[in-house]
Amino acid sequence: MAAKMEEGMNIRRIVLDVDKAISKPAVTELAEAICRVEGVEAVNITVTEIDIETVGFNVTIEGENISYPDLVQAIEHTGAAVHSIDQLVAGSRIVEEIKRGRT
């Protein structure tokens, strides 16, 4: 089940863990549905797992004022499912993650 987002938050990037059945939807159908969501400027869908019945994806979406509820609805309408939010960037600009090394 997808997490609830605060209304009015300027979501600029969101990375989702999404699963779909092997047969449907096609990756292009999923991308088209995401691109139709208001505020979405770009999407990157990367296959992370394939098993007998499902395909897992990391879905990175960037834009301005992306509506999380509309995004989840668009994804679920294709027959795919959002499992988790793996990254969220919000505010007036994008802050890149800085990897820290452990000594």
Q: Which residues are catalytic?
A: 49
89 near 52, Cβ under 8 Å? no
How far is it, in rounded angstroms, from Cα 18 to Cα 6?
Answer: 21
CB atoms within 10 A of CB 71: 26
Q: Which residues pair with 15 in a beta bridge?
A: 60, 87
